[in-house]
Amino acid sequence: MSALPVEATDPTAPPSRRPAGSPVIGPPARAAVPRLVFPAPGSRPRAARRGTRIALPFVFVFVLVLLLAVPLITAAHHARPAPYGDHLTVHARVADTARAGVPELRTTGRAVEAYDPGSGAVRWTYAREGRRPLKTLGAPGHAFTLWSDGLVTDTARADGGSVRWHRAVPGSADWLREPAARGGAGVLRPLTPGARMLAVVTPRRIAAYRTADGDLRWVLPARPGCAFEPARSVRVRGALLVAQPCGSAGAAWTSQLIAVDDYGRIVPGRTPLGNGDLGPEK
């Protein structure tokens, strides 16, 4: 048996001296390990820095527009017309209204004035654009006014601090322009001495409003063929008597006069019209 010669290959020999196709004997080569590169602290990618530079001008423009818009919005709010064309001006602040006394009321063609009874100084003035006051009625804490457009208002009498409510009287505007209206005489009538209820008397109906908030409590229409006469009304004790003349010549006088109070028309065995609780007296 013959032995074949074995050619030993030196693994440390240079590649040029190694026979072609000879295997490499030795430790396996290490795989390349990827290197992780971390950005330096405080540094950002270029794309992020570019986006920030683009966004900053828009932020500044937004803030500038917002700052300029606030005064414009405030000015527009103050420039809005007052509801119902109201112009209420307080000329003299009253710290102690009880000591200062109840101001007197008067109309001056285009406005209602409240003035101090002692000094005569005007406390407040109330006017409405394009309207004139026809009649003013004073009550404890209230200044009721009937205007030429058929609107009834209630102003805080002592200090003129606010106009509490506005109420339109249906179908009264045309009648108030007639000479028979006499400038609204008798239209505004307190129903009781406490003035918890205000009666607005027109030829077609009598409407009663709660003076605390202007809430409509009841409405009494005139009888068919008859009409109320606001100027012919008088308070007797706890009732308001209103003339209601009728066209019929033979009508009894009792049918041409009615009596009302806080709860509606006074008749025997009546049931109050849901007005049992009027709230505290003002």
Q: Is residue 178 part of a domain?
A: yes
Checking if the pLDDT of 116 tops 80, the result is yes
Model's pTM, two decimal places? 0.67
Per-residue pLDDT, 45: 57
Answer whether residue 66 is part of any domain. Answer: no
Residue 180 falls within a domain, yes or no?
Answer: yes
pLDDT band for position 23 (50/70/90)? low
Tell me the average pLDDT of the chain: 77
Mean pLDDT calculated for residue range 10-31:
53
Neighbours of 21 (CB within 10 A): 5
Q: Which residues contact 210 (CB under 8 A, 6 or more apart)?
A: 196, 197, 217, 278, 279
| E strand or H helix at 141 | none
Burial bucket for residue 97 (CB in 10 Å: 0-12, 13-18, 19+) = middle
In which domain, by residue range, is 271 found?
169-275
Select the more confidently predicted residue: 134 or 277. 134
Q: Containing H/E element for 111?
A: strand 111-115
The pLDDT > 70 percentage for the chain reads 63
Among residues 236, 133, 254, the alpha carbon closest in space to that of 191 is found at 236
Closest CA to 155 of 195, 211, 78, 230: 211
For 138-193, write each residue's pLDDT tens digit: 999 999 999 999 999 999 999 899 999 999 987 777 788 777 677 788 899 999 77
Residue 241 lies in a domain: yes
CA distances from 188 to 54, 118, 195, 231, 244 (A): 70, 27, 11, 10, 16
pLDDT at residue 120 tops 80: yes
**218 has which bridge partners?**
208
pLDDT tens for 88-110 read: 999 977 766 667 788 999 998 89
| 133 within some domain | no
Helix (H) or strand (E) holding 240: strand 239-243
Residue 30 has pLDDT above 90, yes or no: no
* Distance, CA of 176 to CA of 73 (rounded, Å): 41
Q: What is the pLDDT of residues 42-51, one digit of tens each?
A: 555 555 555 5
**Does any domain span residue 101?**
no
How many residues would you count in the chain? Answer: 282
Residue 32 is assigned to a structural domain of this protein? no
Which of 234, 205, 218 lies closest to 273 in space, CA to CA? Answer: 218
Between the alpha carbon of residue 39 and those of residues 33, 43, 44, 59, 115, the distances in Å are 19, 6, 8, 28, 81
What does each C-alpha distance from 124 to 26, 166, 213 come to in angstroms?
Answer: 112, 18, 21
Domain count, the chain: 1
**pLDDT, tens digit, 9 for 90 and up, residues 237-271:** 889 999 999 877 667 777 789 999 999 999 888 87
pLDDT band, residue 6 (cuts 50/70/90)? very low
Distance between CA 147 and CA 153 in Å, rounded? Answer: 8
Residue 280 predicted with pLDDT over 80: no
Per DSSP, the three-state class of 45 is coil
Of the candidate ranges 110-119, 155-164, 268-277, the one whose mean pLDDT is the lowest: 268-277
Higher-confidence residue: 40 or 189?
Answer: 189
Sorted by sequence, the CB contacts under 8 Å of residue 31 that are 6+ apart come out as none
pLDDT for 156 = 95
Q: Is residue 164 part of a domain?
A: no
* Percent above pLDDT 90 for the chain: 41
Which pLDDT score is estimated for 76? Answer: 40
| Cβ neighbours of 105 (radius 10 Å) | 19
pLDDT at 8: 46
Per-residue confidence (pLDDT) for residue 277, from 0 to 100: 56
